[in-house]
Structure 1
């Protein structure tokens, strides 16, 4: 079968590769195997950075890596020990696969203690940009039929759900933490979905991004009940002077400059969650390190890194997607701006990620 792959370490190497069509026998444990026909695969900045050769490694025995870590599909066949999905069910799939640590053994491979991590479509495991794939039932998450129009957002939603959950979990150190004001930096899919989830929790949310008003990002944030702030017009520092320092910041820009700058504006007892990965070697000059260090220690502030999600985060994300359809009907679907029919033109897909500034969410329709 055809796949969309890259050659790790080689810039702009996206190409069509071939793999055998998978069967239940190819699953790690065939009795627990699930064969899925791929319907849609979302692509994002991670895929673009892998194509830029910033990171990503091929599985052992291959000189290419199949990309695609945001999948939505339909179950075609299951092993005899699989009970939570059946043929005909819609599904998504988690991304990280277990290593050898205790966290992996207890099902928390999203926080593995092993430095050599395994992620489908990212590192040492082939991704989902294929006609079909097979996996263990542990990593397959059922998507309700009523959410099939948002199914390709399942993985991004899991990232947001985990980031928010990690903040609340870590803030139990304070015994009482009831955040009222939140900043979300970045208005891509992660920033917008995070905005939605924080609004569902009743927070006042300001979503900051470079894109000027008016525009689609502003419209979506406003429809969620948040406030969109173009940093081309109002800096975070200026916003803080108007609305105060936020109790919670979720950083989702992919910019190290913004990630560190956010540290300057967090409220006492606040939490800052970094979700974006910044591939490259940039350094930051003129950062007020002494001041930030002093304020963070005296203010009991917290920085949390959050990456990936396990099946429970996927379920939580799907729950928020479902609730958002009731609270904000039709809004989330507007994130899905840029469909591509098939992956036969790899260069076109990657160019959309790099060059199309109107593309809020690029996704590939692999099959019907």
Structure 2
């Protein structure tokens, strides 16, 4: 069957290739699920893997099948599978377990090992192919009524984890009732984080460079949050207007903006970093001031990456509620479909060249 893959270590190596069809027999104990792939989303991670900035092939192979944002329909299940059945729409988690205690208890996203396993990213093949097989534990059912949001499930799980981790960590405060939040960045993670925080009842400002009117601003405002162009209103000015936020989630992909957030969060507040910034950028940090204010203000900096099954499930619930609260808004995130695996070149072009492409995804099959 066909798949889109890269040759790790070789820049711009995305290509179409034939790979063996998957079999339920590959999963022991009758726990396998065979999924027909319908759509696969792509993001900056896929672009950077194609640029050979990271990513490794599974042992024994010299290629890595791309794609970690899956949406498909179950074709067959092993005899011991109970959570899904043929005909169900599903997605799949990304991280696979290593050997740490965190992996063993199902929190693969929190592994303490240096080596990690992620489908479509590192040491495990991804989902950009016609079919895939996985264990029932890593397959998450999607309500039929949410199939129009298809590839948003995986990025939503990352947003859900980031917010949940902040609230869990703030149990240290005994009582923490945040009212004001800033979300830095208006890509898919920033927009979905905005949704989650709005559903929690916070006043949310989503900060981005682009000046309104634009699509991202319309989506933010459609969720009854407030869009702020930092070209027009720098964060320093916004803080003067609103007061310091209780929570800042950075999803910009800019280490400068991620660090700058530390200067603006309020006492007992949290800054969450969700984006990964490769490279060797250097900047000056007012270390004495940050150190003083963070210690005296009991502030917390939290990194959040990937997600496990519980985050997928809670993210899907929030997508369902958000789709009812703000009809038609979330679907607008899905901006750029590409039809067919053979058109992977257009997919990569959109990822690399089209700055207006909010969400690129590939239509692989009907279903």
**Same fold by TM-score greater than 0.5:** yes
TM alignment of 1:93-242, pairs within 5 A: 93-242=92-241
Query: Does residue 1:18 correspond to 2:14, yes or no?
Result: no
CA distance in 1, matches of 2:112, 2:327: 40
Q: Deviations over 1:307-364 (max 9, x none)?
A: 1111111000000000011111111000001001012133321120121122110010
CA distance in 1, matches of 2:231, 2:12: 30
Query: Does residue 1:50 correspond to 2:52, yes or no?
Result: no
Contact 1:49 1:279 in 2 (8 A): no
CA distance in 1, matches of 2:308, 2:29: 21
Query: Does residue 1:4 correspond to 2:4, yes or no?
Result: yes
Q: Deviations over 1:268-321 (max 9, x none)?
A: 10011111111222222x221111111111111001111111111100000000
Contact 2:4 2:14 in 1 (8 A): yes
CA distance in 1, matches of 2:171, 2:343: 48
CA distance in 2, matches of 1:231, 1:10: 37
CA distance in 2, matches of 1:345, 1:240: 45
CA distance in 2, matches of 1:293, 1:131: 52
CA distance in 2, matches of 1:251, 1:77: 40
Question: How many angstroms does 1:30 deviate by?
Answer: 5.1
Structure 1 consecutive aligned stretches of length 4 or more whose deviation exceeds 2 Å: none
Unpaired segments ≥5 residues, structure 2: none
Contact 1:55 1:279 in 2 (8 A): no
Alignment-derived partner of residue 38 in structure 1: 37
CA distance in 1, matches of 2:7, 2:146: 34
CA distance in 2, matches of 1:207, 1:54: 29
3-state SS of 1:345 partner: helix
Q: How many residues align?
A: 366
Name which of 295, 298, 301 aligns with 1:297: 295
Alignment-derived partner of residue 333 in structure 1: 331
Contact 2:38 2:73 in 1 (8 A): yes
The more displaced of 90-99 and 56-65 is 56-65
Query: Does residue 1:343 correspond to 2:348, yes or no?
Result: no
Contact 1:24 1:30 in 2 (8 A): no
Contact 1:246 1:265 in 2 (8 A): yes
3-state SS of 1:344 partner: helix
CA distance in 2, matches of 1:164, 1:236: 21
Question: How many angstroms does 1:160 deviate by?
Answer: 0.7
Alignment-derived partner of residue 78 in structure 1: 77
Using the size of structure 2 for normalisation, the TM-score is 0.98
Alignment-derived partner of residue 287 in structure 1: 285
Contact 2:338 2:346 in 1 (8 A): no
